[in-house]
Chain A
Amino acid sequence: MRNLGFRKSITRGFVQLARRPIYLIAMILIPIATALFLLSLMEDGLPSRVPAAVVDLDHTEMSRSVTRTLDAMQMVNVTMKLNSYSEAHDAMQRGEIFGYFIIPEGFAQKALSARQPEISYYSNLTYYVPGSLLFKGFKITSNLASGALIKNVLSGVGAPEYMIMPAIQPYSTHVHPIGNPWMSYAIYLGNSFIPCALALMILLVTSYSIAIEIKHKTSRQWLEDANGSMFMAVIGKLLPQTVIFFTVGLLIQAMLFGYSHFPLNCSIWYMILDMFLLVIACQSFALLVVSALPNLRIALSVCSLVGILSFSVAGFSFPTEQMYSWIDIFSYILPIRYYFLIYIDQALNGIPLFFSKTYYAALLVFPLISTSLLWNLKRACKNPVYIP
């Protein structure tokens, strides 16, 4: 590096980060604290034992056995036994339970005399995860009650044992959840939300560290240190951050795949590469934003908007193909989207690398186009204006 100002620029980049604690807080503390928070929050994988109530209006041996079956379900915890629908509904509205199961009066008598007693159950889906789990528990219990009854009837008339199960359930379904047989929410949200939080902080810190030079009118000095080369100035500033963010990213991956033993069905190098590309793609994204809009507050507003909406638009929980098509398009400009798709293909499903090639390539596009607007940033750096 002949006198290109590389050494001076990079020293300046490091000094900037060291001078104010906010950089290290935003780059290291926040991403790692978020990772620890989400992993410790969901360490059980699934929020099983959902509080629920049973309203048994029958009070017979048969109805009590249904209640026992329900309570034995892993996802259900019968915390209340109530005497009426209105009591149960009130408890649900108060938030004490997430749903209730009603066994009608005359249940046993009607069931045994083929008069179809009707079981009803209510699950509160304003809380999606516990509500769905409860629904599943309720549904299985009511099916089991039905099955048990038919079994009784059939064995009562002397049907052979081996014919009973096929009669109750002629089609038997076997579901094989690939990669996440535990259906763990920690695996599912940890691998998307934690890198996305890192991506958010990369976007913010990158645009902040560049635009603050313009706000404080130090941008001319910044350019001079790089011998007037905008490119060199940007490299000097961002390279130290790349090192720190990538290290934090590796630490996060160590927490996910190492400490938490989340599925890693590919070579760890594929995911390390994925993380490296995510870091530079996010930096490039922010560089483009701040080059196009060289104003601290506006650039940060745009990066916050993009970073926060990424959690939704990138399709971690709701598939992008189900969104309106013009929103779906937006997901393709987000680096984190490709990181997530590579994670699914490689770490979760372990499919051949060939199928993920376009995602890796897409992440490479960001750094390749990142310098295209540097002329505008340079213009702003030469003539810094801060609008408060």
Chain B
Amino acid sequence: MSNIKNKILTPFIDIFMVWKREFRNVFKDVGVMIFFLALPTLYPIVYSLIYNTELAREVPVIVVDDCRTEGSREFVRNIDASQYAHVVGYAANMEEAKRGMHEKEAYGILQLPSDFTESLGRGVQANANLYCDMSLLIRYKGLLISLTNVAMEMGAKIQAQKIDDFAPSYTPVASNPIPSFSIFMGNPEQGFASFVLPGILVLILQQSLVLGIAFLGVGERDRRKKNNGYDPCSANAGIIPTMIGKAMCYYTIYVAITVYILHFVPHFFSFPQFGNIDQIYTFIMPFLFASIFMGMVFQNFIRQREDAFLIIVFTSVIFLFLSGLTWPRYAMNRFWILLGDIIPGTWGVEGFIRMNGDGATLEQTAYPYTMLWILTGAYFIIAYACYRFIDRRRKIKQ
């Protein structure tokens, strides 16, 4: 009777022992602590500070006003008053204005032709030209919005007058016959930080886990090398209990880190938080496990601890793009979609953004959630195969 009981209990005791041991291994190791604690604590703050100003406000622009009438000056005043543009000065001609751009005094030139005001009186269109530096699309966007808004607002008044001449019955609504309103979902401020940060936060979780686990793995291998295949810091359990025990240990640590990164950091910096936080934690669980087992696979390909820097750090950039945050997945070719599919970060980013930004429920993010559980299983099996292979080879050697 007690024999059967033991058989059932042993794996659980093993898992618990591994879990306990691994805690000691993690907290003893300065390198691992950098990845598990320092990196996830500091990176989100640094990133948030970089982007926290959110918008490109008051983009400097130079004006070349060849018209010099009250009408053209009013147009320029309105541009200057808008949120996104700031008139830094007038230039006598285009050459002078270009020079100002070359000296980085401005990132755009607004040119109003000599017949600007006169055209309106004659009943033809008045042209406004904007020459824009394209080094950063966000500046271009700011100037473009200012120009379009001013042209439309000032145009509406003139439009109403014209219509009054021809169709007086229509005058009351002529300036805006079909009103429209636009809502920006998930990111009402249209901010840069609110867009890029949630994705980066999720990737920080994955990357710090993978780096830390790689470090731990090589550390263990080094200890075994020194001690003839025996690791004094391991709990000597079977492969599966060892994997589960370790995974539970990392997961326990990362529950606290997840709460900090996905709840408190967005809260400090007032990023959008429209999701149900409990559902987000439920969603993130398979994401953490998938990342952990992926880390256990990766650790077998690293020979020296510090090699992890050379091999893993740059993947953050690749994973960020694969997640579809900057370049949407529908516009990728099949190969990159497939590659993205096997990275936990892709689904983690997608699900978290939809829940956190768009207020989606766990039911609505069922697809990424399922994919994360599939990845958890797949990486578990691959990691198991790797460990078994290494274990066998070690035993043969002995």
Beta-carbon contacts of B121-144 to A below 8 Å, as 1s and 0s? 001111111111111111111001
Please tell me which one of the listed residues A126, A129, A170 contacts residue B326 in the complex, with CB atoms under 8 A apart: A129
- Is B52 engaged at the interface, CB distance under 8 Å to the other chain? yes
CB proximity to B under 8 Å, residues A294-326: 296-297, 300-301, 303-304, 307-309, 311-313, 315-319, 322-324
Beta-carbon contacts of A156-182 to B below 8 Å, as 1s and 0s? 111100010111111111111111100
The reply to whether A322 and B55 form a contact with Cβ atoms under 8 Å apart is yes
Beta-carbon contacts of B241-271 to A below 8 Å, as 1s and 0s? 0000000000000000000000000000000
CB proximity to A under 8 Å, residues B15-55: 30-31, 34, 46-47, 49-53, 55
- Is B325 engaged at the interface, CB distance under 8 Å to the other chain? yes
Stretch binding the partner chain, chosen from A88-96, A226-234, A361-369: A88-96
Name, among B46, B135, B163, B326, the residue most crowded by chain A CB atoms within 10 Å (CB to CB).
Answer: B135
A189 to B34, CA, bound (A): 31
Given A163-B123, A319-B56, A116:B178 Cβ within 8 A? yes
- Is B147 engaged at the interface, CB distance under 8 Å to the other chain? yes
Interface of A is mostly: helix
Given A150-B174, A154-B167, A297-B306, A174:B133 Cβ within 8 A? no
Q: With a CB–CB cut-off of 8 A, which chain B residues contact A317?
A: 136-138, 192
Q: With a CB–CB cut-off of 8 A, which chain A residues contact B56?
A: 318-319, 322
**Closest residue to A46 on the B side, CB-wise?**
B331
The reply to whether A318 and B331 form a contact with Cβ atoms under 8 Å apart is no
The reply to whether A319 and B138 form a contact with Cβ atoms under 8 Å apart is yes
- Is A138 engaged at the interface, CB distance under 8 Å to the other chain? yes
Q: With a CB–CB cut-off of 8 A, which chain B residues contact A344?
A: 133, 135
Q: With a CB–CB cut-off of 8 A, which chain B residues contact A142?
A: 178, 180
Stretch binding the partner chain, chosen from B283-291, B292-300, B353-361, B370-378: B353-361
A93 to B60, CA, bound (A): 37
Stretch binding the partner chain, chosen from A248-256, A271-279, A346-354: A346-354
The reply to whether A324 and B128 form a contact with Cβ atoms under 8 Å apart is no
Smallest CB–CB gap between A220 and chain B, Å? 20
Stretch binding the partner chain, chosen from A4-12, A53-61, A201-209, A372-380: A201-209
Given A126-B198, A169-B125, A172-B126, A193:B134 Cβ within 8 A? no
The reply to whether A166 and B177 form a contact with Cβ atoms under 8 Å apart is no
- Is B389 engaged at the interface, CB distance under 8 Å to the other chain? no
- Is B230 engaged at the interface, CB distance under 8 Å to the other chain? no
Given A124-B186, A129-B327, A327:B50 Cβ within 8 A? yes
Please tell me which one of the listed residues B57, B151, B358 contacts residue A92 in the complex, with CB atoms under 8 A apart: B358
The reply to whether A126 and B186 form a contact with Cβ atoms under 8 Å apart is yes
Given A126-B195, A127-B328, A176:B187 Cβ within 8 A? no
A304 to B321, CA, bound (A): 19
Please tell me which one of the listed residues A118, A138, A178 contacts residue B131 in the complex, with CB atoms under 8 A apart: A178
The reply to whether A138 and B182 form a contact with Cβ atoms under 8 Å apart is yes
Smallest CB–CB gap between A352 and chain B, Å? 7
The reply to whether A185 and B133 form a contact with Cβ atoms under 8 Å apart is no
How many A residues face the partner with a CB closer than 8 A? 118
Given A111-B177, A173-B130, A177-B140, A201:B49 Cβ within 8 A? no
A300 to B324, CA, bound (A): 29
A264 to B219, CA, bound (A): 48
- Is B364 engaged at the interface, CB distance under 8 Å to the other chain? yes
A125 to B318, CA, bound (A): 22
Smallest CB–CB gap between B171 and chain A, Å? 9
Please tell me which one of the listed residues A166, A176, A307 contacts residue B124 in the complex, with CB atoms under 8 A apart: A166
The reply to whether A296 and B321 form a contact with Cβ atoms under 8 Å apart is no
The reply to whether B132 and A178 form a contact with Cβ atoms under 8 Å apart is yes
Given A118-B180, A177-B132, A179-B134, A355:B102 Cβ within 8 A? yes
Q: With a CB–CB cut-off of 8 A, which chain B residues contact A150?
A: 159, 163, 174, 177
Given A171-B154, A180-B134, A322-B56, A153:B184 Cβ within 8 A? no
- Is B10 engaged at the interface, CB distance under 8 Å to the other chain? no
Chain A to chain B: the 3 pairs with minimum beta-carbon distance, closest first: A126-B186, A47-B331, A126-B357
- Given pairs A188-B136, A308-B317, A318-B50, 19 additional interface contacts (CB within 8 A): A41-B321, A47-B331, A49-B330, A51-B330, A123-B182, A126-B186, A167-B158, A170-B154, A172-B128, A175-B130, A178-B134, A197-B314, A204-B309, A300-B306, A312-B51, A317-B192, A318-B51, A322-B56, A388-B305
Binding site for A on B (CB under 8 A): 30-31, 34, 46-47, 49-53, 55-57, 75, 102-103, 119-120, 123-141, 144, 147-148, 150-152, 154-155, 158-159, 162-163, 166-167, 169-170, 172-174, 176-187, 190, 192, 194-196, 198, 219, 272, 303, 305-307, 309-311, 313-314, 316-318, 321, 324-328, 330-333, 336, 350, 353-354, 357-361, 364-365, 367
